[in-house]
Chain A
């Protein structure tokens, strides 16, 4: 099975940086995904990591350390529209995704 932990809530100021941590214990590993989900909407794909290191995509970056079972999502130059839930998900050897409960990020002016 999979055990995925991430903080429940985080608050930050517009223009600032926020780092959302995710730790996982899994029976198989085929990559880690981050999704963004606005209230009442579908999750949308943000990033994918399968090798150790940092993947940068505009204002968003995602980091993975497989040996530590650890990932983070870094949001830079926060905007009000970034207020959402951020879901960490691990893909197992059967290509099945297991999700964490999500981290609700609130961006304040």
Chain B
């Protein structure tokens, strides 16, 4: 079946602009995660949704970052007043449901490469 999809695959913007990154999870997956990955590093947790609500947003670096998942499927990560330091690959992952750790295996999308000039 279809995996996690993310759009756009690449985004170049100027400092101070607003960007939106979209994630479409695997059908039937109730949990959705956003990560940020810098070059040479592992993914860093940003936010987790269970259904429509943000169950854990402790990884968001500051209030310029916000994410929504209004219908419990597609999610959008929004970054306001972008800074050069926001340049990274933004990864989305989804998992089945919270019935146990094995069911929480996360499957990743291809990522959006954001470059802030």
Genuine A/B complex? yes
Query: In A38-82, which residues have CB < 8 Å from any B CB?
Result: 41-45, 48, 50
> A33 interface residue, CB < 8 Å from B?
yes
Q: With a CB–CB cut-off of 8 A, which chain B residues contact A31?
A: 101-102
Contact mask for chain B residues 50-70; partner A; CB cutoff 8 A; 1 contact, 0 none: 000000100000000000000
> A107 interface residue, CB < 8 Å from B?
no
Chain B: how many interface residues by the 8 Å CB criterion? Answer: 23
Chain A: how many interface residues by the 8 Å CB criterion? Answer: 24
In angstroms, Cα B43 to Cα A42, docked, is 10
Partner of B110, one of A4, A41, A50, A99: A41
> A108 interface residue, CB < 8 Å from B?
no
Closest to A99 in B: B42
Query: In B70-115, which residues have CB < 8 Å from any A CB?
Result: 91, 98, 101-102, 104-111
Question: Shortest beta-carbon distance, A29 to chain B, in Å?
Answer: 10
Partner of A102, one of B42, B48, B101: B42
In angstroms, Cα B56 to Cα A31, docked, is 19
> A84 interface residue, CB < 8 Å from B?
no
| B43 and A99 contacting across the interface, CB-CB below 8 Å | yes
> B1 interface residue, CB < 8 Å from A?
no
Q: With a CB–CB cut-off of 8 A, which chain A residues contact B14?
A: none
In angstroms, Cα B43 to Cα A76, docked, is 26
Most buried by A among B33, B41, B42, B106: B42
| A94 and B56 contacting across the interface, CB-CB below 8 Å | yes
Question: Shortest beta-carbon distance, A3 to chain B, in Å?
Answer: 12
Closest to A45 in B: B105
Closest to A44 in B: B108
**Interface residues in chain B, defined as those with a beta carbon under 8 Å from any beta carbon in chain A:** 4, 31, 33, 40-45, 48, 56, 91, 98, 101-102, 104-111
Q: 13 A-B pairs, CB-CB below 8 angstroms?
A: A30-B104, A31-B101, A31-B102, A48-B101, A50-B101, A87-B42, A91-B104, A95-B98, A96-B45, A96-B48, A96-B56, A100-B42, A102-B41
